[in-house]
Protein backbone atom coordinates (compact mmCIF):
# COMPACT_ATOMS: atom_id res chain seq x y z
CA UNK A 1 0.00 0.00 0.00
CA UNK A 2 1.34 3.45 -0.87
CA UNK A 3 1.93 5.91 1.93
CA UNK A 4 1.18 9.63 1.77
CA UNK A 5 4.89 10.35 1.46
CA UNK A 6 5.20 8.03 -1.57
CA UNK A 7 2.17 9.60 -3.25
CA UNK A 8 3.60 13.07 -2.65
CA UNK A 9 6.93 12.10 -4.26
CA UNK A 10 5.16 10.58 -7.28
CA UNK A 11 3.00 13.70 -7.67
CA UNK A 12 6.04 16.01 -7.54
CA UNK A 13 7.92 13.93 -10.15
CA UNK A 14 4.90 13.86 -12.46
CA UNK A 15 4.36 17.59 -12.02
CA UNK A 16 8.04 18.27 -12.86
CA UNK A 17 7.81 16.08 -15.99
CA UNK A 18 4.67 17.87 -17.16
CA UNK A 19 6.30 21.27 -16.50
CA UNK A 20 9.41 20.32 -18.51
CA UNK A 21 7.31 19.03 -21.39
CA UNK A 22 5.09 22.12 -21.44
CA UNK A 23 8.15 24.38 -21.16
CA UNK A 24 9.79 22.75 -24.18
CA UNK A 25 6.67 23.31 -26.25
CA UNK A 26 6.40 26.95 -25.17
CA UNK A 27 10.04 27.83 -25.96
CA UNK A 28 10.17 29.93 -29.11
CA UNK A 29 11.48 28.34 -32.30
CA UNK A 30 14.46 30.14 -33.82
CA UNK A 31 14.14 31.82 -37.22
CA UNK A 32 17.64 31.62 -38.74
CA UNK A 33 16.96 34.38 -41.25
CA UNK A 34 16.83 36.96 -38.45
CA UNK A 35 19.60 35.61 -36.21
CA UNK A 36 22.76 37.66 -35.82
CA UNK A 37 25.48 37.04 -33.28
CA UNK A 38 25.63 39.03 -30.05
CA UNK A 39 29.09 37.63 -29.33
CA UNK A 40 31.61 36.61 -32.00
CA UNK A 41 33.17 33.16 -31.78
CA UNK A 42 36.86 33.20 -30.92
CA UNK A 43 39.04 31.94 -33.80
CA UNK A 44 40.11 28.92 -31.75
CA UNK A 45 36.56 28.06 -30.63
CA UNK A 46 35.91 25.66 -33.52
CA UNK A 47 37.87 22.42 -33.83
CA UNK A 48 37.11 20.38 -36.96
CA UNK A 49 37.45 16.69 -36.15
CA UNK A 50 37.83 15.51 -39.74
CA UNK A 51 41.03 17.47 -40.42
CA UNK A 52 44.50 15.98 -40.12
CA UNK A 53 46.68 18.03 -37.77
CA UNK A 54 49.91 19.47 -39.12
CA UNK A 55 52.95 17.38 -38.16
CA UNK A 56 55.29 18.67 -35.50
CA UNK A 57 58.58 20.16 -36.67
CA UNK A 58 61.54 17.82 -36.50
CA UNK A 59 65.25 18.45 -36.22
CA UNK A 60 67.34 18.30 -39.38
CA UNK A 61 69.12 14.96 -39.83
CA UNK A 62 72.77 14.76 -38.92
CA UNK A 63 75.24 15.10 -41.79
CA UNK A 64 76.42 11.76 -43.17
CA UNK A 65 79.78 10.93 -44.74
CA UNK A 66 80.01 11.14 -48.50
CA UNK A 67 79.67 7.65 -50.02
CA UNK A 68 82.58 6.17 -51.91
CA UNK A 69 82.38 6.14 -55.69
CA UNK A 70 81.49 2.82 -57.30
CA UNK A 71 82.38 1.43 -60.71
CA UNK A 72 80.04 2.03 -63.64
CA UNK A 73 77.65 -0.83 -64.34
CA UNK A 74 78.28 -3.00 -67.36
CA UNK A 75 76.26 -2.20 -70.49
CA UNK A 76 73.21 -4.33 -71.16
CA UNK A 77 71.59 -5.24 -74.46
CA UNK A 78 68.55 -3.26 -75.60
CA UNK A 79 65.26 -5.16 -75.25
CA UNK A 80 63.62 -6.60 -78.33
CA UNK A 81 60.91 -4.43 -79.91
CA UNK A 82 57.28 -5.35 -79.20
CA UNK A 83 54.38 -5.06 -81.60
CA UNK A 84 51.97 -2.15 -81.20
CA UNK A 85 48.58 -3.06 -79.70
CA UNK A 86 45.59 -3.42 -81.98
CA UNK A 87 43.33 -0.38 -82.24
CA UNK A 88 39.97 -0.62 -80.47
CA UNK A 89 36.79 1.37 -80.88
CA UNK A 90 36.40 4.47 -78.72
CA UNK A 91 34.09 3.98 -75.73
CA UNK A 92 30.50 5.07 -76.04
CA UNK A 93 29.96 8.67 -74.91
CA UNK A 94 28.55 8.98 -71.41
CA UNK A 95 27.41 12.56 -71.95
CA UNK A 96 30.39 13.76 -69.94
CA UNK A 97 31.71 17.18 -70.74
CA UNK A 98 34.74 18.60 -68.98
CA UNK A 99 36.35 17.28 -65.80
CA UNK A 100 34.64 14.89 -63.39
CA UNK A 101 32.70 16.82 -60.76
CA UNK A 102 33.17 15.86 -57.12
CA UNK A 103 30.33 13.98 -55.48
CA UNK A 104 27.61 16.36 -54.30
CA UNK A 105 27.48 16.62 -50.54
CA UNK A 106 24.18 16.15 -48.81
CA UNK A 107 22.27 19.27 -47.88
CA UNK A 108 22.77 20.63 -44.38
CA UNK A 109 20.07 19.09 -42.20
CA UNK A 110 20.15 21.76 -39.51
CA UNK A 111 21.99 24.52 -37.69
CA UNK A 112 23.04 24.96 -34.08
CA UNK A 113 22.40 28.19 -32.20
CA UNK A 114 24.38 28.67 -28.96
CA UNK A 115 23.42 31.25 -26.35
CA UNK A 116 25.47 32.19 -23.30
CA UNK A 117 23.74 34.15 -20.53
CA UNK A 118 20.92 34.98 -22.94
CA UNK A 119 23.22 36.35 -25.69
CA UNK A 120 23.77 34.54 -28.99
CA UNK A 121 27.31 33.15 -29.19
CA UNK A 122 28.41 33.40 -32.83
CA UNK A 123 26.29 32.91 -35.92
CA UNK A 124 24.18 29.77 -36.41
CA UNK A 125 26.58 26.87 -37.03
CA UNK A 126 25.73 24.52 -39.92
CA UNK A 127 25.58 20.82 -39.13
CA UNK A 128 27.74 20.06 -42.15
CA UNK A 129 30.71 18.22 -40.63
CA UNK A 130 32.11 16.80 -37.41
CA UNK A 131 33.34 19.62 -35.14
CA UNK A 132 33.76 20.74 -31.55
CA UNK A 133 32.79 24.23 -30.38
CA UNK A 134 34.45 25.34 -27.15
CA UNK A 135 32.64 28.04 -25.18
CA UNK A 136 34.99 29.68 -22.67
CA UNK A 137 33.53 32.26 -20.31
CA UNK A 138 35.32 34.92 -18.26
CA UNK A 139 34.21 33.23 -15.03
CA UNK A 140 36.17 30.07 -16.02
CA UNK A 141 33.14 28.06 -17.15
CA UNK A 142 33.87 25.88 -20.19
CA UNK A 143 31.43 23.91 -22.34
CA UNK A 144 32.48 21.71 -25.29
CA UNK A 145 29.74 21.13 -27.85
CA UNK A 146 30.07 18.29 -30.37
CA UNK A 147 28.29 18.92 -33.70
CA UNK A 148 27.94 16.34 -36.47
CA UNK A 149 25.75 16.24 -39.60
CA UNK A 150 23.28 14.05 -37.64
CA UNK A 151 23.24 15.37 -34.06
CA UNK A 152 24.53 17.85 -31.48
CA UNK A 153 25.50 17.02 -27.89
CA UNK A 154 27.18 18.60 -24.88
CA UNK A 155 30.47 16.71 -24.87
CA UNK A 156 31.81 18.17 -21.62
CA UNK A 157 31.10 20.93 -19.14
CA UNK A 158 32.69 22.37 -16.03
CA UNK A 159 29.31 22.54 -14.26
CA UNK A 160 28.98 20.46 -11.09
CA UNK A 161 25.81 18.52 -11.79
CA UNK A 162 26.56 17.46 -15.42
CA UNK A 163 22.82 17.37 -16.21
CA UNK A 164 23.51 18.95 -19.61
CA UNK A 165 25.65 15.96 -20.59
CA UNK A 166 23.01 13.57 -19.28
CA UNK A 167 20.43 15.18 -21.58
CA UNK A 168 22.09 13.29 -24.44
CA UNK A 169 22.11 14.21 -28.09
CA UNK A 170 19.61 16.18 -30.13
CA UNK A 171 19.31 14.13 -33.31
CA UNK A 172 17.81 15.58 -36.51
CA UNK A 173 15.74 12.40 -36.87
CA UNK A 174 14.47 11.93 -33.30
CA UNK A 175 14.37 15.38 -31.64
CA UNK A 176 10.57 15.32 -31.53
CA UNK A 177 10.75 12.40 -29.08
CA UNK A 178 12.85 14.32 -26.52
CA UNK A 179 11.34 16.11 -23.54
CA UNK A 180 13.37 19.25 -24.30
CA UNK A 181 12.84 18.79 -28.05
CA UNK A 182 15.62 20.72 -29.84
CA UNK A 183 17.33 22.10 -26.71
CA UNK A 184 20.23 21.16 -24.44
CA UNK A 185 20.51 23.43 -21.40
CA UNK A 186 23.40 23.90 -18.97
CA UNK A 187 21.80 25.97 -16.22
CA UNK A 188 24.89 26.46 -14.00
CA UNK A 189 26.98 27.81 -16.92
CA UNK A 190 23.99 29.56 -18.56
CA UNK A 191 24.65 27.87 -21.91
CA UNK A 192 21.78 26.86 -24.19
CA UNK A 193 22.15 24.82 -27.36
CA UNK A 194 19.32 24.78 -29.87
CA UNK A 195 19.32 22.51 -32.91
CA UNK A 196 17.25 24.17 -35.64
CA UNK A 197 16.21 21.53 -38.20
CA UNK A 198 16.40 22.57 -41.84
CA UNK A 199 12.86 21.31 -42.45
CA UNK A 200 11.32 23.91 -40.11
pLDDT tens per residue, range 159-186? 999 999 999 999 999 888 988 999 999 9
- For residue 151, what are the CA distances in angstroms to 40, 50, 141, 182, 196? 23, 16, 23, 10, 11
pLDDT at 44: 59
194: part of which helix (H) or strand (E)?
strand 191-197
Q: Does 94 reside within a domain?
A: no
Whether 114 maps to a domain, the answer reads yes
Domain assignment of residue 19, yes or no: yes
- Among 43-47, 66-70, 176-180, the minimum mean pLDDT is found in 43-47
DSSP states of 173-190 as a string? TTGGGSTTTTEEEETTTT
pTM for this prediction:
0.55
The enclosing domain of 18 has a CATH number of 2.60.320.10
* Predicted local confidence at residue 94, as pLDDT: 40
How deeply is 82 buried, as exposed, middle or buried, from its count of CB atoms within 10 A (0-12, 13-18, 19+)? exposed
- How far apart are alpha carbons 45 and 194 in whole angstroms? 18
For 110-133, b where at least 16 C-beta lie within 10 A, e where not — what string?
Answer: bbbbbbbeeebbbebbbbbeebeb
Number of other CB atoms surrounding residue 55 within 10 Å = 6
Secondary structure (DSSP) of 148-168: -SSEEEEEEE--SS-HHHHT-
**Is there a domain that residue 126 lies in?**
yes
Number of structural domains, the chain? Answer: 1
In a domain, 58, yes or no: no
Domain range enclosing 174: 4-50+106-197
Amino acid sequence: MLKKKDLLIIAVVLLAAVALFAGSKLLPKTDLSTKTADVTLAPDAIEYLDETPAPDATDAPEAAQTPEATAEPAATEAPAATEAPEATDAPQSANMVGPMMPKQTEKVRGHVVITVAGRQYGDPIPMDRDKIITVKQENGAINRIHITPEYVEMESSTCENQDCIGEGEVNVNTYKDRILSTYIICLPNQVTIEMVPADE
